[in-house]
Amino acid sequence: MNPSVSKLTRALGLALLAVAATHAATVSFQTPTTITSDTALDTAWNGGANTLVQAVSFGLTATVTTGGGQTIAFTSGADVGDFDIPASSTTGAGVYNGNLQNDTYAGTTGDTNFDTVLGSNAWHNNASDATRPLTVRIGNLTPGQNYVVSLFTADDRAGSAGRSQAYWSGFSSGTFSGGTSGSFSQTTPTMVIGIFTADASGYQDIFIAQTDNVGYADTHFAGYTLYATPNFVHPSIPSSVASSSSQT
C-alpha cells in the first residue's frame, strides 16, 4: 500500500474513534430559572427568530399553546436503557440510565398542558454515577448548526424536599466536566437554557449530577425543546417569565 494512503487511512480511523468517544460539543448554559408561566417556552424561540426542531418529554405528552402564540407538540422520549457512559455513538437518542414515571408535579404554571409535561419524570439513583449517570442524548442534529436547548424539571413531591442537581456537557470515569448549569433545586419547576454548535457526531449529551446527598440523591428530568438558531447567542429571559433558582 502507498505509505501516504496508509497514513491517511490511519488518521481517518483515529478521527472516527475520537468522534465516537466524545460527548459532542461543550454547552454554554444560562443560570437556572424558576418557571412562572408557559411563556417560558417562548424564550428559546426568540420572537420567531429561531426554529423549533424538537420537543420531547419523558413520560407524559401534551400540546402546549404558549403565551407567545407557539403550538408545541411534545413527543414521547425513549428510555434507551442502561449503558456505561460515554455511550457508543451508534445508540439512539433518549434518556440513558433512567426510569420513567409520571405526575411528579402538583403545582401549576397556569397552563395545564405545560403542567402535564413538567409532571413527566425520568429519574435515576446516583449510586451508579461512577459509570452510569442520568444522561439525555439529543439526536438528529446537523453538524455545524447552532442550537438553543431549554431543559425542564419539576418534582414537588414531599419526598424530594432538599434535592438539587446540575447539568454538565461532559462526563468520563465518574467526573463531570465541560459546561455546567450550576446547582439548582429539583423541587421547583426549573428551566435551564443552553447553546451549542453541533459537531460531527450528530448528537448532544447532557449529563445530570446530584448535588445534595439527600436521601437516595435521585436526579431527574422532565423534557426539553430544541431550536435551530442562526446566531450563537443566549436569548434573554424576561423577568415576567422566570426568576433565578440557582444555588450556591
Q: Is the pLDDT of residue 231 over 80?
A: yes
pTM: 0.87
- Three-state DSSP class for residue 47: helix
* pLDDT band per the 50, 70, 90 thresholds, residue 16: very low
How far is 113 from 4, CA to CA, in rounded Å?
60
Tens digit of pLDDT for each residue in 178-212? 999 999 999 999 999 999 999 999 999 999 999 98
* pLDDT band per the 50, 70, 90 thresholds, residue 237: confident
CA separation (Å) from 194 to 74, 112, 157, 230? 19, 25, 27, 15
Tens digit of pLDDT for each residue in 49-96? 999 999 999 999 999 999 999 999 999 999 999 999 988 888 889 999
Residue 58 DSSP code: S
- Segment holding 139, helix H or strand E: none
Name residue 35's beta-bridge partners: 242
The dihedral formed by the CA atoms of 57, 50, 139 and 61, expressed in degrees to the nearest 10: 10
Residue 42 DSSP code: G
Joined grid coordinates for residue 191: 428551566
Tens digit of pLDDT for each residue in 25-40? 999 999 999 999 999 9
How far is 37 from 247, CA to CA, in rounded Å?
21
% pLDDT > 70, the chain:
83
Residue 67 has what pLDDT? 95
For the chain, the structural domain boundaries read: 24-244
Cβ density class 122-142: b for 16+ within 10 Å, e for less: bbbbbeebeebbbbbbbeebe
Residue 70 has what pLDDT? 97
Residue 23 has what pLDDT? 54
How far is 34 from 221, CA to CA, in rounded Å?
15
More confident residue, 142 or 215: 142
Joined grid coordinates for residue 211: 448535588
Residue 177 has what pLDDT? 95
Tens digit of pLDDT for each residue in 169-187? 999 988 999 999 999 999 9
Among 46, 86, 59, 52, which residue's Cα sits nearest to residue 169? Answer: 86
Give the burial class of 94: count Cβ atoms within 10 A of its Cβ; 0-12 exposed, 13-18 middle, 19 or more buried.
buried
How far is 25 from 15, CA to CA, in rounded Å?
15
